[in-house]
Amino acid sequence: MFELKYLTPSAWTDAVLADFDTFLQDHAAAEKKASGMALSMLSHYPDRRKLVKAMTDLALEELIHFKQVLKLLLDRDVNLGDDKKDTYVKQLRALFRNGSEVFLMDRLLVAGVIEARGHERFSLVAEALPQGKEKEFYVAIAKSEEKHKNLFVELAYEYFPKETVDERLEEILIAEAEICAKLPFRAALH
């Protein structure tokens, strides 16, 4: 449906594999936050039925993903980590415009771009991991993130003119590429 404008270099994957336990802790936190974000959206827009249904399903799916990552952590005898502020997400949220309609559009599109970045990076992790349950999990989770990326853009098309959505999505993709290019490579999703 759309493509990211910045491709994550292999140095990011190297940083993840060098400290995979920390990456798993960060991934668990990201899934937990994604579930909360979906619940927040359905609470803020109860009159948007398609959004409410989609976000209900998404909140449950993200919580299942959290549980799956938690199992991987526990299997490795690693505790759940503390939630940390995500500079990437914070910078993307700074793109939100004021005004209820444009704010909703921006929330949807930023969420779609975050899911697209998750798809890209989880795919890189899946490619780099040796055969086994962790590799299989990251193959599956990457596919799931791709579905989510498309879901958010489809919801934007549901509520706003396609041309307007496409123009704003392009602006957000350019900004996201600039943000990603400045992020340090570490054992974290972003």
Q: pTM of the full predicted structure?
A: 0.96
Q: Per-residue DSSP letters for 128-169? A: HSPSSHHHHHHHHHHHHHHHHHHHHHHHHHHHS-HHHHHHHH
Residue 1: is its pLDDT beyond 90?
A: no
**CA-to-CA distance for 61 and 105, rounded, in angstroms?**
22
Split at pLDDT 50, 70, 90, the class of 45 is very high
CA distance readout (Å), 79 to 76, 83, 145: 9, 12, 25
Domains of the chain: 12-182 (1.20.1260.10)
- Report the pLDDT value the prediction gives residue 21, as an integer from 0 to 100: 98
- Quote the percentage of the chain above a pLDDT of 70: 100
Residue 99 confidence (pLDDT) above 90:
yes
Q: Is the pLDDT of residue 177 over 90?
A: yes
Write down the pLDDT at residue 84.
87
How many whole angstroms separate alpha carbon 19 and alpha carbon 112?
27
